[in-house]
Amino acid sequence: MLKDAGYAVVEASNADTAIGILESRDDIRAVFTDIKMPGSLCGLKLVAAIRDRWPPIQLIFASGMAPPAENDFPPMGRFIRKPYGPKEVLKVLDELFGPDLAPYRHFENARHN
């Protein structure tokens, strides 16, 4: 769905892999992660690490549970409740980057596998 919308997508199977990708690239503009995921970091700790090390990266995280407490929410982070559809995700990306910038953005998808 994201590729069809013009986004370049890089997938990571867990937070550790996502951090490794972010350390090796400078073209990632957004990270979309689940709150519950395998690896040494949950999604909330992943977004906190990203916010500390790569503050320009936009953060989007999802969960079927209640949204995290406000103090657990990173500044400018976006929460999407599961189940979500493509329109919800694309709407958030359009809000973050504008609808005309999609082909020029790279999107890191750290997801639960």
Distance CA 90, CA 95 (A): 8
Q: Is residue 2 in a domain?
A: no
Which residues span the domain enclosing 105?
Answer: 8-110
What is the model's pTM?
0.80
SS (H, E, C) 54-69: CCCCEEEEEECCCCCC
8-45 confidence digits (pLDDT tens): 899 999 999 999 999 999 999 999 999 888 888 888 88
Domain harbouring 88, CATH code: 3.40.50.2300
Counting the structural domains of the chain, the total is 1
pLDDT the model gives residue 14: 92
In a domain, 1, yes or no: no
CA–chain centroid gap for 29, Å, is: 9
Burial 48-68 (b: 16+ CB within 10 A, else e): bbbbeebeebbbbbbbeeeeb
Q: Are 107 and 97 in contact (CB under 8 A)?
A: no
Is position 79 within any domain? yes
Q: In this structure, is residue 3 part of a structural domain?
A: no
